Amino acid sequence: MYTKEDVEKFFASDNGQVVEHALEQSICWPLIGQKNYKSLFYYCKVCHDVENIYLASIENHIRLKDSEKHKAKLIEYLQKEREKEGQGND
C-alpha cells in the first residue's frame, strides 16, 4: 500500500508514475474504475464524466485537474485502510 508521502510525491511530480504498470499497481487505483464497452475504459470515480482507454491519461487527470480534491480523496482512502489494518491487530 502507498503512503501519504508517496501520494504527495506523485502530485508534486511532473510526470506521475513513469514506470509502466497495471491498474492494481497505480497509486491512483482507489479513484479509478473500469467500464467495458466495445473496449476497456478507465474512468475517474470522483469525476464520473472523465474516461479514457489509457490508464496514464486518467492518472494525469487525477494529478493535474483539481489536484487538491483528488489528493484529499486518496489520502482519505489511505487513512481508512490504515485504520482497518490497525483494528485487525487487537
Q: How many domains does the chain have?
A: 1
Mean pLDDT over each residue of the chain, to the nearest integer: 88
Q: Is residue 60 part of a domain?
A: yes
Q: Concatenated DSSP letters for the chain? A: ---HHHHHHHHHSSSS--S---GGG-TTGGGEEEEESSSEEEEESSSTT-EES-HHHHHHHHHHSSHHHHHHHHHHHHHHHHHHHHHTT-
Tens of pLDDT, residue by residue over 29-60, are 999 999 887 778 999 999 989 999 999 999 99
The pLDDT of residue 89: 52
Q: Is residue 90 part of a domain?
A: no
Q: Is residue 53 part of a domain?
A: yes
State the pLDDT confidence band at 88, using cuts at 50, 70 and 90. low
Q: Which domain holds residue 34?
A: 4-85
The pTM of the full predicted model, rounded to 2 decimals, is 0.82
Q: Is residue 15 part of a domain?
A: yes
